[in-house]
Structure 1
Amino acid sequence: MRIKKGDKVKVITGAYKGTIGEVKQAFPKEDKVIVEGVNMVKKHLKPTQANPDGGIIEKEAKIHVSNVMLYDEKAKAASRVSMQIKEDKEGNKVKVRVFKKSGKEVGGKK
Structure 2
Amino acid sequence: MRQGSTKLRVNDKVEVIAGKDKGRVGKVLKIDREKNHVFVERINMIKKHQKAKDATQSGQIIEREAGIDCSNVMIVCPECTETVRIGIKVLEDGTKTRMCKGCKATIETLKK
TM interval, shorter chain, is: 0.7 to 0.9
Cα distance change of structure 1 residues 9 and 52 upon mapping to structure 2, 3 Å threshold: same
Q: Does 1:103 find its partner at 2:108?
A: no
Q: 1:52 corresponds to which residue?
A: 57
Q: Does 1:42 find its partner at 2:43?
A: no
> How many percent identity over aligned positions?
35
Which runs of structure 1 show a deviation greater than 4 angstroms over 4 or more consecutive aligned residues? none
CA RMSD of aligned residues (A): 1.8
> 1:94 is matched by which residue type in structure 2?
T
Alignment partners' CA distance in 2, 1:10 and 1:59: 18
Q: Does 1:69 find its partner at 2:70?
A: no
* Structure 1: segments with no counterpart, 5+ residues: none
> 1:67 is matched by which residue type in structure 2?
N
TM-score, normalised relative to structure 1? 0.86
Q: From 85, 89, 99, give the equivalent of 1:80.
A: 85
Alignment partners' CA distance in 2, 1:39 and 1:50: 32
Alignment partners' CA distance in 1, 2:55 and 2:79: 44
Cα distance change of structure 1 residues 34 and 51 upon mapping to structure 2, 3 Å threshold: farther
> 2:69 is matched by which residue type in structure 1?
H
* Structure 2: segments with no counterpart, 5+ residues: 1-5
TM-score, normalised relative to structure 2? 0.85
Alignment partners' CA distance in 2, 1:21 and 1:13: 14
